Amino acid sequence: KAGVTQTPRYLIKTRGQQVTLSCSPISGHRSVSWYQQTPGQGLQFLFEYFSETQRNKGNFPGRFSGRQFSNSRSEMNVSTLELGDSALYLCASSPGWAENSPLHFGNGTRLTVT
């Protein structure tokens, strides 16, 4: 079974631009979560989608948004990029919306904002 696929692996953008990251979950998984990983802040929860509905949201500004499609694939968008948005963005999927269901992570998208 294929794992979680994130595209692209690397992105370089300029301040003020916007970016869209894509995530394809493991087949059959209906929940997709997004995390931001930085050396200073570690792993921080962005949001989680289940059956095309946002179920949970972390403490990030409105510039960060996401969506999930009917095939469970998900995208996240960051508008008006800032230097501090440079990070590894990780997508994770799980079969359902349950707190005891382990997350399965993709290899991430490395975003660099210049």
Partner 1 sequence: AQSVTQLDSQVPVFEEAPVELRCNYSSSVSVYLFWYVQYPNQGLQLLLKYLSGSTLVKGINGFEAEFNKSQTSFHLRKPSVHISDTAEYFCAVSGANTGNQFYFGTGTSLTVIP
Assess 5 for contact with partner 1 (CB under 8 A): no
Candidates 45, 60, 73, 86; binder of partner 1 (CB under 8 A) is 45
Q: Which of 48, 64, 72, 81 binds partner 1 (CB under 8 A)?
A: 48
* Cα(5)–Cα(7) distance, integer angstroms: 7
Residue 85 in 3-state DSSP? helix
Give the count of residues interacting with partner 1 (CB under 8 A). 28
Out of 20, 56, 80, 112, the residue judged to bind partner 1 by CB under 8 A: 56
Pairing of strands 104-105, 42-50: unpaired
